[in-house]
Amino acid sequence: MIRLAIQSKGRLNEESLRLLKDSGIDVDDTKRKFIGKASDFPLELLYLRDDDIPGVVADGAADLGIVGFNEVSETGADVKVIRRLGFGRCRLSLAVPKIVDYNGLDWFQGRSIATSYPSILNRFLSEKGISAEIREIKGSVEIAPAAGIADAIFDIVSSGGTLVSNGLKEVESVLESEAVLVCGNDVTEDKQEIINSVLFRFDAVRESRGKKYILMNIPSDRVDEAMLLLPSMRSPTVMPLALDGWSSIHSVVDDAELWRTVESLKRIGAEGILILNLDKVID
Ligand code: PRT
Ligand code: ZN
């Protein structure tokens, strides 16, 4: 049995549960308590505040955690990042009132900066030789300049909408973040085996995301051209059809390339094109 800590509510909760579900690790989320047990996998879920997850994993009270890389970096907890999970993407940035004529980091010299991420900010400022006053506040950091609490802020930015609506502009991006899977530093062999199985499943789910399975019929003399348009995992599968002079091609295409590829395939005579969702991809 292993224990995985995820955010109890908030931005990472839903995606964390979806990843588990898609990995066949079903937890009855309707009866959510502090701890939930997966029905068909040796795993317990621990629902926590994101700030607490790195420390709990470092202490060994949980074996794995899903948390924003920003929290791992801020807490400095002794954990290993074993996978980037591709959701909860954001960045930690410095922002100043939009009327400021900003001309480089020196602007921050001697100024005050409000943030909930004092450690990351402190490391960044020391590295850059800037001496500024860090004012730690827990929430609503974006209102600090207008409220006269600080000259600038250091906060999470995703779309940038919050900054704009508070009359601020992003001037330096300091840390890129996304949800990551972390584990502790001494894991027993038994637990490692279960962790490997979690990783195997997570990888298969992630591999399938953003991809489609595509199949079509095509005149056999156009197969070589079609192969050039279809960069598959190894190579596309080509099978002769019962109808003389025609073949069937199966392949996997990235969502980003899908429509361009389909249009090019139609131009070279592809017919009966089917596009299917991919569930899992196991290399
Ligand atoms: O209760 P708990 O402590 O668990 O939750 P929390 O309130 O501390 O965190 P939560 O749920 O807000 O965020 C959890 C994690 O999601 C963060 O630690 C990040 O890793 C990640 N994440 C991704 C974000 C955002 N995107 C994000 N946009 N966390 C916060 N924001 C905030 C941002 O600070 C801004 O104020 O959302 C606001 C909107 O952002 P814009 O730029 O899109 O306007
Ligand atoms: Zn938090």
The overall average pLDDT reported for the chain is: 94
Atom of ligand 1 lying closest to residue 162 CA: 44
Identify the CATH number of the domain in which residue 165 sits.
3.40.190.10
Q: Contact at 8 Å (CB) between 26 and 38?
A: yes
The percentage of the chain sitting over the pLDDT mark of 90, rounded to a whole number, equals 86
Ligand nearest to the CA of 115: 1
**Across 109-129, average pLDDT:** 98
Q: Which residue has the higher pLDDT, 7 or 36?
A: 7
Q: Residue 230 sits in which domain range?
A: 211-277
Residues 128 and 267 in one domain: no
Q: What is the pLDDT of residue 270?
A: 96
* Best of 9, 11, 81, 115 for a ligand 1 pocket test (most atoms within 8 Å of beta carbon): 11
**Across 26-50, average pLDDT:** 86
Atom of ligand 1 lying closest to residue 51 CA: 3
Tens digit of each residue's pLDDT (9 = 90 or more) over 196-239: 999 999 999 998 998 999 999 999 999 999 998 987 666 789 99
Question: Comparing C-alpha atoms, which of 1, 43, 2 is closest to residue 21?
Answer: 43
Atom of ligand 1 lying closest to residue 13 CA: 11
Residues 154 and 190 in one domain: no
List the structure tokens of 159: 């779309």
> What is the C-alpha to C-alpha distance for residues 150 and 169, in angstroms, rounded to an integer?
15
Q: What is the pLDDT of residue 222?
A: 95
Residues 262 and 273 in one domain: yes
List the structure tokens of 119: 């450690």
Q: Contact at 8 Å (CB) between 211 and 254?
A: yes
Tens digit of each residue's pLDDT (9 = 90 or more) over 76-93: 999 999 999 999 999 999
| Position 98 in a domain | yes
**Across 117-137, average pLDDT:** 98
The rounded Å distance from CA 60 to ligand 2 centre is 20
For ligand 1, is residue 68 a contact (CB within 6 Å)?
yes
Helix or strand or coil: residue 107?
Answer: helix
Does 32 score more than 80 pLDDT?
A: no
Confidence class of residue 14 from pLDDT cuts 50, 70 and 90? very high
For ligand 1, is residue 50 a contact (CB within 6 Å)?
yes
Does 124 score more than 90 pLDDT?
A: yes
For ligand 1, is residue 139 a contact (CB within 6 Å)?
no
Does 26 score more than 70 pLDDT?
A: yes
For ligand 1, is residue 73 a contact (CB within 6 Å)?
no
Residues 71 and 190 in one domain: yes
Residues 154 and 172 in one domain: yes
Residues 55 and 98 in one domain: no
Tens digit of each residue's pLDDT (9 = 90 or more) over 238-276: 999 999 999 999 999 999 999 999 999 999 999 999 999
Residues 102 and 172 in one domain: yes
Q: Which residues of 58-72 are buried (b: 16+ CB within 10 A; e: fewer)?
A: beeebbbbbbbbbbb
Does 144 score more than 80 pLDDT?
A: yes
Q: What is the pLDDT of residue 30?
A: 67
Tens digit of each residue's pLDDT (9 = 90 or more) over 161-199: 999 999 999 999 999 999 999 999 989 999 999 999 999
| Position 283 in a domain | no
The rounded Å distance from CA 9 to ligand 2 centre is 10
The rounded Å distance from CA 49 to ligand 2 centre is 6
**Across 20-38, average pLDDT:** 83
Q: What is the pLDDT of residue 167?
A: 98
Q: Which residue has the higher pLDDT, 177 or 30?
A: 177
For ligand 1, is residue 70 a contact (CB within 6 Å)?
yes
Q: Contact at 8 Å (CB) between 8 and 48?
A: yes
Question: Comparing C-alpha atoms, which of 234, 228, 232 is closest to residue 212?
Answer: 232
3-state helix, strand, coil in the chain (%, to 5): 35, 35, 35
Domain total in the chain: 3
Residues 169 and 94 in one domain: yes
